[in-house]
Amino acid sequence: MRFTKIKISADAESRLRSVRQKTGLTPNLLCRMATMLSLEEGPVGPGTVTDEGGREMNAYTLTGEHHALITAMIRLVEEEAEGHRLPDEELLLRFRAHIHRGVGTLSVRAKSPADLARLAVAA
């Protein structure tokens, strides 16, 4: 899956701001954690498009040197559920949906840096 930029939802951006204030982590790192939390929950499936009213992030800023690994995990989770290969455009929509769902989870579970550490150990 190739992309240069991805736009997250306004809701996710607002929640990221809140989690950042509590934990001190940057939005790109929080989005990586959020994506992994969401992938653990399983596929988001089709029709889960969220609004694009939030911030736009560069692909490298968001995924860093783990781009291939993150996109492969999204492809694995989503395509296994669908039973066929999905086009990159659909995977990108689902990546956004994973970020959105994961940020929602983080906003509830991460009230301090220690909470993030516990989430990382539990995984």
**Is it the case that residue 49 has pLDDT exceeding 90?**
no
- Share of residues in the chain with pLDDT > 90 (%): 66
User: Average pLDDT of 33-38?
Assistant: 94
How far is the C-alpha of 107 from the C-alpha of 81, rounded, in Å? 27
Residue 75 has pLDDT above 60, yes or no: yes
| Structural domain that includes position 32 | 5-122
Q: What is the pLDDT of residue 31?
A: 94
**Alpha-carbon distance values, 58 to 4, 6, 12, 46, 118 (Å):** 6, 7, 16, 24, 28
pLDDT class of 54 with cuts at 50, 70, 90: confident
CATH number for the domain spanning 34: value is: 1.10.1220.160
The residues facing 56 across adjacent strands are 7
- Domain total for the chain? 1
Mean pLDDT value across residues 45-50: 71
